[in-house]
Structure 1
């Protein structure tokens, strides 16, 4: 995996473009480099090759990122801009597939609503919030399973202490159309959340993935793993 050492770079890797040919997309064999960086305007996506360079501003929350499931290799992804402009397709050119999940996770996180705004938004307090922090910080020294932490009795009880507060903070991250008056705990214990937590856990235990996620969230992570990341989040909020 290639990484840009620039402070604001989120992720950078080898990728080629896909060309729309009728109803099909075909790979442009040209070698290229794709990078995503943070900028006051939004997320800056740059694609460069030996003969061409292009730059796009992506607004988090307004661009849908997903894999192309019909692709047998699973290494093609699309950026869907809705009616704003045509979708853009890319294919991974890194030889190893080891870090594919890292790339996809970081791009997904970058194009969602800013995690920094969630963590440090004005008024981030509540009677259940301190309980939640205490439960996260009391996990001990050994690494933990993220799905177990999210679904633990301590975390769920903390959510129940002030459900309106947590729903207010988390609603923007839930599926479109979610009833803001619904039970936040029911959403957290959803099997899909546990599956997502397990996937994220794999990324966090990969030193490269851990490093890149810490950069994406602007936190200081010392030891790769779930616990190292959670402790970094808690320290970030204390600053």
Structure 2
């Protein structure tokens, strides 16, 4: 199937630690099309257009091509109005709360760099139509002073919270383990450690790290996590039953008990692996 929409856009890097955003130098292209394996999904691909170094604090290179699998109603394309020195948009995911930032690179003929043209608005309308959502102007929490990357500016993230010292109950597994943290964990694992996850993937997807991440970011996965959270939260005695069936140490009822049990199981496995490795080293000596 042919492309549904293409437009020029660069990427913006957001640092969760410093709460600052940096537009990355280099030309980029966004292509939206039906997913090649299942036409009911939309695929959004960002790729670099030609050479160009990345404006990166750590000197690392960005991925030359990045593909996202989008489900109807889960993502929306939002204009960040406070970014007055560039036309910055956020691709926001309702299921995970994640967002990806882009700055438009199409020449729109406007005197003010942050002003949208009719063509820019058309791109936004078409993309949101493909995503099957109503366009919302709620990207106003993003502030950026310089789209060239020579300066950085504050990015006020609505998802960030202030530490008030108040103990907040865990109502969902994602309260303690956000999808974004799970994705970062998957990216950090060696290939051989991914096999147990591959075995749980839908049959239509090839067993690759990137496809696994796409599955984790789907509304279906988020819904399953939410259902599991509800079971632990609302069903008395289920924690003990699940612990015995899955083989992790029982650490109490509720979501927190499940997470503590899973953590304890992981620590024990790590310790067992360390002991086994030490024994192998002794044998080799």
Structure 2 length normalisation: TM-score?
Answer: 0.35
Greater Rg by CA: 2
Structure with greater helix percent: 1
TM-score (norm 1): 0.41
